[in-house]
Structure 1
């Protein structure tokens, strides 16, 4: 799972692209303000002159706001107080400094608003437009904070759900194995000792997997091999298995203990009830859309009323603990981007197919 980085909203915008976007947006807003001011307050000069003053005021104000937003002293204030202080500094600074810059660019003598007397119209327009702009950015910052809080809460909820699902799976496997071991002790002590050794290896691997949110496919396959070794000791020649993991996919991260429920399901419902030997094959491969993992068995196969490529989502929730568990894990981590389906095998058996994005 990728690590998340925490950005400080009070430093907005943080990148050059964000600053450029804010400047361009401000330029458009102040051009509109210049147009309104030109028609509503005649006597300020030609439209290009009014536009020059308006743009210089707006860009100067934006520069002032960007500088103030990086002040650590302001960052310690409450959000609303921070924006009010920013406005009280940026609006007068933008108005006065912006006018002086416009006079300099136009080659005119520097004065307050371009006339011998002070005009209130530019001042009122500057306060209104600057105040609305700051209110827009304050609202945007608040919405970004709320969205970040919702995202973090959703991430924590998913992590809690995954921990719960793993906690449900571990005892399920352990109880089954201990029940099998109890029967084997009476029949074959040597095989029972070998099973205990394999169980220790498996539990160590499972403990390591329980302490992380994602494991490499190589570790997932190693844990699966330990589990199948245990089942091979119990079932003897009735169980053969093969694991196929390409080297290029060994480091791919997946939810821990994702494949074991499918293997358990194949043994419990496919191979154990079947008379004679059977096999399980787990193979991973890279496809155009992501990674495909197939868990195939030569067991009894799907019931007669099941479709040949049944979508697990369409099956009743209580049909199989293993299938339901995998479906929940995939949904919690990948959402609708991952799929789990069943396919019939000829002449018998089932293939569970997991498709996940890479």
Structure 2
């Protein structure tokens, strides 16, 4: 389990698109600053010359600030102090570097400040504008840190609920299994040995799942197989099952015990109340999620049973928020949201002639 932290999430571009947006945004910002200075103090210089100096100095300050924030040598301190130190270094360094570049572009001799008091105005104006820009980045970083902290807190709360749920469900399942074992020991010792082996596998997997953030589909299916083997001994010919996991998906990572509530629901609400035999099929396959941002590769894991099933209205109520919601389904949906955001989904689909299919779709 990772610990909740509020370390700086330094808002620097991580892709070429992000770098392009930052460059264009900064260029527009400093062009606007040059225009404001020209209108506020028309006697200072021509607009074209102010634009060249503003762009060169501004991009020098922005570039220096971003290099400092991404450097591994820069101290990883609090957001406010960190950006204050960034400004102390980046503003004078960027001003000198940008001033030199502008003079080179204009073909003029090097000078930091021309004679005359009016030349102090661009320096003061640059200091104010640069301070405003750095304040914007500092505010954005603070908001990003707060959002990351809220997301991490939600994830930790969801994982805590998982452990609480397992603490409530496992003793009930364990007691029923042990009671069944007691009768099997004298009636069918081979079945009793098989059930003990599967119980050990299931409990070992459950213990490992409670100590990790991610599991693999192979481990999840192995745990489901142990659980379904135990339930098959308990229910006899009333329960059969099939697990379908392609070899290419065995190592895919997902939150541990994500599928267990779906299988338990299928047995508890679908097959146990039904008269006669029933079947559960757990299947994983690759799909295209087709999200609004574009087609995203993903995996669909479906748990299909031939039990009593639900109507379309009943399935909607089971997934809904409120008193009619199924706690197990709601728990799965919250874990999906915490782990994958809106890219993941949980759906229920009534089957014909009877039964229900619970499908989880997650990005790969």
Distance 2:32 2:247 in 1: 60
TM-score normalised to structure 1 length = 0.77
Which residue is 1:331 aligned to? 334
Q: Which has the larger radius of gyration?
A: 1
Distance 1:236 1:21 in 2: 63
- Write out aligned runs for 1:1-358 (5 A): 8-9=8-9, 13=12, 15=14, 17=16, 21-69=21-69, 75=75, 78-114=78-114, 119-185=119-185, 187-268=187-268, 271=271, 278-286=277-285, 287-289=287-289, 290-297=299-306, 301-302=308-309, 310-311=315-316, 312-314=318-320, 324-334=327-337, 337-341=344-348, 343-346=350-353, 349-358=354-363
Distance 2:55 2:320 in 1: 61
Distance 1:7 1:14 in 2: 18
Which runs of 5 or more structure 1 residues have no equivalent in the other structure?
none
Distance 1:124 1:354 in 2: 61
User: In 2 relative to 1, CA 223–84 (structure 1 residues): closer, same or farther, beyond 3 Å?
Assistant: closer
Distance 1:175 1:6 in 2: 43
Cα RMSD of the aligned pairs, angstroms, is 3.9
Distance 1:150 1:316 in 2: 23
For the 8 Å contact 2:240–2:278, the answer to whether it is kept is yes
Q: What does the per-residue CA deviation read over 1:123-150, in whole Å, with 9 as the maximum and x for residues that have no partner?
A: 3322221222222222222222222222
Distance 2:14 2:167 in 1: 43
User: In 2 relative to 1, CA 130–163 (structure 1 residues): closer, same or farther, beyond 3 Å?
Assistant: same
For the 8 Å contact 1:285–1:293, the answer to whether it is kept is yes
For the 8 Å contact 2:57–2:99, the answer to whether it is kept is yes
For the 8 Å contact 1:296–1:351, the answer to whether it is kept is yes
User: In 2 relative to 1, CA 159–90 (structure 1 residues): closer, same or farther, beyond 3 Å?
Assistant: same
User: In 2 relative to 1, CA 183–137 (structure 1 residues): closer, same or farther, beyond 3 Å?
Assistant: same
Shift in Å at residue 284 of structure 1?
Answer: 0.9
SS at 1:353 equivalent: strand
User: In 2 relative to 1, CA 184–340 (structure 1 residues): closer, same or farther, beyond 3 Å?
Assistant: farther
For the 8 Å contact 2:158–2:334, the answer to whether it is kept is no
Distance 1:270 1:131 in 2: 64
Distance 2:45 2:217 in 1: 72
